[in-house]
Amino acid sequence: MGNRSAADALLAVRGPGTGGGVGAPGAAAAAGLAGPGAAAALVGGVLLIGAVLAGNTLVCVSVAAERTLQTPTNYFIVSLAAADLLLAILVLPLFVYCEVQGGVWLLSPRLCDALMAMDVMLCTASIFNLCAIGAFLVCWTPFFVVHVTRALCPACAVPPRLVSAVTWLGYVNSALNPLIYTAFNAEFRAAFRKALRLRR
């Protein structure tokens, strides 16, 4: 499938070391990010995961608590939020770990395969929901352009940092979805204030 995301990059950098193809620790250390780069990836990843968890949990709680929000359209939004929540719990922590290591996978090959399966499944579920309720061009178009280019033009040199950047951008979409699809809805805003105990 086209939506291979972070796991595609992970498999691409698995070296010829022992342990089922996982790169040797020495190579990983050499390829790892510099101190500030690793720290930036870690801080950015933690903030992104926190934003995805907070925003999408708020969406699910609001729809569950408010009968006026329990409409067919909003069920698509809840489905989208659930997919994004699972992405933040099951995929993003491992992706951030790999980014901190400079894109080198140091864990077991089976876990890498599991990450690929979860990443494809959850990102595809998120995209299908987005197709049902709106557009997703801003965050996901760069990802697909880069990966389609890599597939159709093996000779084209696509910088690893560009692959990493468009993957991050796609994941940022999961944090933006609660804002994009609920912030302009007065009923959702009221439910958010109630859930956060900020009702005036």
Label residue 28 by pLDDT band (50, 70, 90). very low
Full residue range of the structural domain in which residue 30 is found: 5-14+23-195
- Give domain status of residue 60, yes or no: yes
CATH code of the domain in which 28 resides: 1.20.1070.10
Asked whether 150 and 5 are in contact (CB, 8 A), the reply is no
> Rounded to an integer, what is the distance from CA 43 to the centroid of its chain?
15
Residue 18, classified by CB atoms within 10 Å of its CB into exposed (0-12), middle (13-18) or buried (19+), is: exposed
What are the pLDDT digits (tens) for 177-199? 787 777 777 888 888 888 777 55
Q: Give whole-number Cα distances, 29 to 12, 92, 93, 105, in Å.
A: 17, 21, 19, 11
Total of domains in the chain: 1
pLDDT digits (tens, 9 = 90+) for 70-126: 988 788 889 889 999 999 999 999 999 988 888 888 889 999 999 889 988 888 887
- Residue by residue, DSSP assigns 77-103 as HHHHHHHHHHIIIIIHHHHHHHHHTTS
Number of helical (H) and strand (E) elements in the chain, helices listed first: 9, 0
pLDDT of 19 strictly over 60: no
- At 96, list the tokens: 């951030």
In a domain, 150, yes or no: yes
pLDDT at 132: 61
Q: Are the C-beta atoms of residues 98 and 42 closer than 8 Å to each other?
A: no
**92 lies in a domain?**
yes
**CA–CA distance, 38 with 186 (Å, rounded to integer):** 40
Instruction: Identify the residue whose tokens are 């597939």.
Output: 151
Asked if 6 contacts 91 with a C-beta cutoff of 8 angstroms, the reply is yes
The verdict on residue 81 lying in a domain is: yes
Closest Cα partner for 22 from 147, 120, 113?
A: 113
Choose between 184 and 162: higher pLDDT: 162
**200 in any annotated domain:** no
Q: Is residue 31 part of a domain?
A: yes
